[in-house]
Amino acid sequence: MKQLFLKIAALSLALLLLAGCAGEKTESRSDETAEEPVPADGQTVQPEGEALGTTYAADDVFSLNVLFDSSFNPYRLTSAWNRVVDMLVYEPLIEIDGSFEAQPGLVTAWSSEDGLTWTFSVDTSRRFHSGASLSSIDCAYTLRMALTTDAYKERFASVAEVTTPDTASFQVRLKSVNWRFYTLMNIPCVEADTFYYDFPGGTGPYKFAATEDMLLLDEGHPNAASMPLLRIYLKEYKTASDILQAFESSYIDLVVNDPTSLSNLGYSKTNIIRYVDSTNMHYLGYNMQSVVMSQTAIRTAMTYIVDRSGIVSLYMSGAGVPAALPIHPNNSLYPQELAQSLSYAPEKFSAALDSLGMVDADGDGKLDLFSGVSALAQELDFIVCSDSASKVSAARRIVNEMTKAGLAVTLRELSYEDYMQALKDGDFDIYYAEIKLRPDWNISAIFRADWSAEDSLNFSRASDQMLLSSYAQLLAAPPDGQAAAVDALCGYLAQTAPITVVCFEKSEVLYHRGVISGMEPTQDNTFNGMETWVIDLTAGQS
C-alpha cells in the first residue's frame, strides 16, 4: 500500500483532470467468467514506475469517470472524460473504421456527381432517446452546429450551404471540390434545437438517467438485446492522484490514456491495454529562413536519419506506427513503395552531405555548409517540448544521429509555453511536433501562407503554392483518381521535404484483468462493437 501512496503523491503534481460520485449497484448481463483478453499487439501496459498489484473488478458495477461540472453536449464539450462517455450516447453520421475508411452510420449512403454538392441519405428508422424519429433535419442541424464550434469549424470551412430537400436526405454544397468530404462527417449526431442543452438527445445504445449519474440501456436501440450492461455508473474524480487510485482500486473500470502526453498517468502494468491507432502524427518541421534548413537537399536527406521503428519501440513502448508520409499506413492510400524508399539509412544522409560539398573547413570537427566560395559554420537549433518524455527521447536520438554525421546541433528541451513562443517567433532551425490529422489527410494547414495569423500552424514560414495546389488536386480527384493524386502529392513531399514524418501515435484503452473481453476500439469510438463484449464484474472476487 505504501507504494501506491508514494506513486499517487508524485502524480498529484501532474495535470488536473476530471471528477466523480458513486452510484448504486447493478449486474452485468453475463454471468459467465470473461476470458482474459489478449491486447491487440500482444502487449500489456508498460508504464514507468512499479506495479501496484493485480487488479480486478472491485464491485459488481461498471463505472466511468466524468466531470459533472462540464457539459456533455458534444458541441460544447471541454472534458476528455465526458467525451468518452458521449461515445455511448451519441452516434456519428458516418463511422470511421480502424483503417480510417468511411462506413455507414446514421447516414446510410452518400453520393456526389461533381465533388461540390453531396447528398446524404438518413436512416429514418432510428429514434432519439426522447422517442422522436431521426430525420434529415437533425443531421443538418448537427452539421450547422459543427460549423460554429471551435473543434470542427476549420474542417468544415469549405461548406457553403446545408439544405434538407426531404426528411430522409440532406445536401451539402461546398465552396471548392472535395471528393473526400464524406470522410469528414464522422461527427456526433444530436437532436435538433438542443445547442444550449448539456444533455441533448442522442441515438446511442445508452441514455442519461434523469438523475444524470448513470447511463441506462436504451431498449429501442437496434443492438439493445446484445449489449452487455443494463447500467453504466458515472463517478467523479478530479485530480490525477484520485483518478489513478480509483482506477487501480477498480472503482472506475475503463480509462483512455495518451501515453506520449503530459496527461499520461502511468497506469500500472497489471492492467490490460488495447492500443488504438490514431491520426495523431509526429513530424519534424524546418525553419525555411534558416541558412542550413532552407537547403532542400538537407531537408530531403533528414528522412534517412530518423529511425522510426526504433523511436516507436524504444521511446513509445510500441504505442505508435512508423510512417514516412502524412497518411496512416493502415489506410489503403498509403504509398508503401515510396515510404520504403524513405526509410532509415544513415549512410544515405552522410552521402547527401557529401554531395553538397560539406566539409570541416575550419578544423573544428563539424561540417560546414558552403555558399559560393564561403564556408558557413552554423550550429543547428533543434527544439522539442519537454512535457513529453517520449518526444524528448525521440529528438535526442535524431540529434545524436545528426551529430554522428558531423553536423553541429544543439537540442533545447523547452516547457510548453517556451516551446510555443519559440515556434511563433521562428526561434529554431528544426522542431519536433505533433498534429491530429483528419481522415481526408489534408495537412495544408501547416503550410498556409498566413503564417503571421494568431492561429497559424505554419511555424516554418513556408510558402509553397505548388504544395497547396497538390493538396487541392488530391481533394479534387474523383474516386478512381485518388491513388494517383496521393502518389503525386507524396512524391512532391519527398522531393521538397517541408516536413519529415516520424510516426502516428496509438492511444491506450486500459481496463482490469478478467473483466472485459471482445474489445476492438477505434479512435472515434472506444466502445466500438460493444454488443460483442463479454463483461464479468465478479472477476477476482472471492
Render pLDDT for 129-169 as a digit per residue (tens, 0 to 9).
Answer: 999 999 999 999 999 999 999 889 889 999 999 999 999 99
Phi, psi angle pair for 84, to nearest 5°: -65, -45
pLDDT of residue 159: 97
Q: What is the pLDDT of residue 264?
A: 65
Residue 85: predicted pLDDT: 98
Give residue 370's pLDDT. Answer: 62
Count CB atoms within 10 A of the CB of residue 130: 11
For the purposes of burial, counting CB atoms within 10 Å of the CB of 312, is it exposed (0-12), middle (13-18) or buried (19 or more)? buried
Judged against a pLDDT cut of 80, whether residue 450 lies above it is answered with no
Determine what percent of the chain is predicted with pLDDT higher than 90.
66
Q: What mean pLDDT do residues 352-373 have? A: 73
For residues 201-208, give the mean pLDDT: 97
In whole angstroms, what is the distance from residue 184 CA to residue 157 CA?
A: 11
Residue 28: other Cβ atoms inside 10 A: 23
Percentage, residues of the chain above pLDDT 70: 83
CA-based radius of gyration for the chain: 25
Tell me which residue has cell 491506450.
508
Least confident segment among 44-58, 257-271, 511-525: 44-58
Answer yes or no: is pLDDT of 411 > 50.
yes
For cell 505504501, the residue is 2
63-65/231-235 β-pairing: parallel
End-to-end C-alpha distance for the chain, whole angstroms = 20
Q: Identify residue 73 by its one-letter amino acid code.
A: N
Q: Is 80 helix (H, G, I), strand (E, B) or coil?
A: helix
In this prediction, residue 541 carries a pLDDT of: 56
The answer on pLDDT for 366 being more than 90 is: no
Whether residue 28 is predicted with pLDDT greater than 60 in this model: the reply is no
Q: What is the pTM of this model?
A: 0.85
Q: State the Cα angle at 345 between 460 and 381, rounded to 5°.
A: 30
**489: pLDDT strictly greater than 80:** yes
The full DSSP string for 489-540 is HHHHHHHH-SEEEEEEEEEEEEE-TTTEES----SS-TTTTGGG-EE-TTTT
pLDDT digits (tens, 9 = 90+) for 316-361: 988 999 999 999 999 999 999 999 999 999 999 999 888 888 777 7
* Local structure of residue 420 (DSSP, 8 states): H
Q: Which of 56, 53, 75, 66 is nearest to 22 (CA)?
A: 66
Q: What's the rounded Cα separation, in Å, for the pair 434 and 261?
A: 11
pLDDT at 500: 97
